[in-house]
Structure 1
Amino acid sequence: MPRQPTDTRERILSAASRLFYADGIRAVGVDAVAEKAGITKRTLYYHFRSKDDLIAACLEARDQPNLALFARWFDEAEGPLAARVENMFRRLARAARHPKWRGCGFLRTAAELASMPGHPAVRIGSAHKKRLEAWLEGKVAAEGIGNASLLARQIVLLLDGAFSVMLVHRDAAYVEAAGSAAATLVGAALARS
């Protein structure tokens, strides 16, 4: 039975995502993606007009799964808001200890495309980060904390800062320290409310 176009597209996205995450978007050419997906370069271009479109599609495909992962980490912790926020960082630290962990694909892509702020992948990464912040704002607001948007932004700054420092030091203790700082911020905000 012949493969359906969506199957081929998904194989391309899967291959590209693995290669881009492991080696970076600039280091990986479309030839390598086509080979990893088991297709021709012509087939790749049938599904994606350009490498830039492929990069954007890869990030778009990661958006909801990444948001769901943070929501799961948040929800699996019991206790007050501070403990649930800190658990996201603890779980991230555990993931960061895996030898194949390479950080946040959205941040890494934005860094590689820093000279191209209008690139579709940069816009997708920005939208993803805004959705994470909005989700956190909802969780904070549900606890009756005033200025939930500021606290959510502070947590995201700690989270993204932890991602960045991890790439430099390869030490998950930085993520745990950021989680502790986030829990302190949440505790202080709750005390003021």
Structure 2
Amino acid sequence: MDNISTRERIVSAANKLFYREGIRAVSVDAVAEEAGITKRSLYYHFKSKDDLVAAYLDYRDLPNLKAFRRWFADAAGRLEDRIGAIFDNLAEAAQHPKWKGCGFLRTSAELANMPGHPAIVVGAAHKKKIEDWLASCISAEGMENAEALARQIRLLLDGSFAVAMLHRDPSYFRTAGEAARVLVRAGRTTPATEILA
């Protein structure tokens, strides 16, 4: 078996276990067993568990961003409706019994005392990509306050992830989506820095 497919099996196994159980609860031995390889083989591909955790988040990066883009593109209506559709789709996803919230936020909470951890770097970059993508969508509508508004919407996203998971209630995504719609509508005529003042 070549190195690429072995590495992919390891990361896929890590993704399954880390997302389901959390990074601290899952040992390297458990990941190796799930991947059907030896622990030694795992360490051939990843020098430490820290590197494996970073690879796990990197593995989730593009699929999550693609989902947001697809939900936005598939929605009808004005910008606020398309952004609101992201929240509506998250509310649907959160009803699945295997849903465990945002893997990036959960990992950052587990590593809160380790700000330089490779996984924190990957997680922060992912969240920045979401924010930058939102800003580009807003800017494409000719709105001048795109960066500030995108940041506010990202805060609504992350906040709704946290609260929906805490209460096991997906309706928080829909509530946050309504708030996002209001922000976008208000942002058409008001600088985003003044909306919440």
Which residue of 2 is the match for residue 6 of structure 1? 4
Which residue of 2 is the match for residue 30 of structure 1? 28
Q: Identify which of 38, 41, 46 aligns with 1:40.
A: 38
Summarize deviations over 1:131-153 as a string: whole Å, max 9, x none. Answer: 11000000001111121101000
Alignment of 1:86-97 (within 5 A): 86-97=84-95
Rounded Cα–Cα distance in structure 1 between residues aligned with 2:79 and 2:56: 32
Letter in 2 for 1:158: L
Which residue of 2 is the match for residue 178 of structure 1? 176
Summarize deviations over 1:164-191 as a string: whole Å, max 9, x none. Answer: 0012100011110000000111011124
Which residue of 2 is the match for residue 137 of structure 1? 135
Which residue of 1 is the match for residue 195 of structure 2? none
Rounded Cα–Cα distance in structure 2 between residues aligned with 1:192 and 1:140: 14
Count of residues in Structure 1 that have an aligned counterpart in Structure 2: 191
Q: Identify which of 29, 54, 57 aligns with 2:55.
A: 57
Letter in 2 for 1:131: K
Unaligned 5+ residue runs, structure 1?
Answer: none
Unaligned 5+ residue runs, structure 2?
Answer: 192-197
Rounded Cα–Cα distance in structure 2 between residues aligned with 1:9 and 1:168: 33
Rounded Cα–Cα distance in structure 2 between residues aligned with 1:147 and 1:81: 14
Rounded Cα–Cα distance in structure 2 between residues aligned with 1:192 and 1:118: 37
TM-score norm. by structure 1 comes to 0.97
Which residue of 2 is the match for residue 21 of structure 1? 19
Rounded Cα–Cα distance in structure 1 between residues aligned with 2:149 and 2:174: 18
Summarize deviations over 1:104-145 as a string: whole Å, max 9, x none. Answer: 101000000000000000011001000110000000011111
Rounded Cα–Cα distance in structure 2 between residues aligned with 1:78 and 1:168: 31
Q: Identify which of 48, 51, 67 aligns with 2:65.
A: 67
Alignment of 1:51-130 (within 5 A): 51-130=49-128
* Overall identity of the aligned pairs, in %: 61
RMSD: 0.9
- Report how far residue 192 of structure 1 moved: 4.0
SS in 2 for 1:97: coil
Letter in 2 for 1:54: L
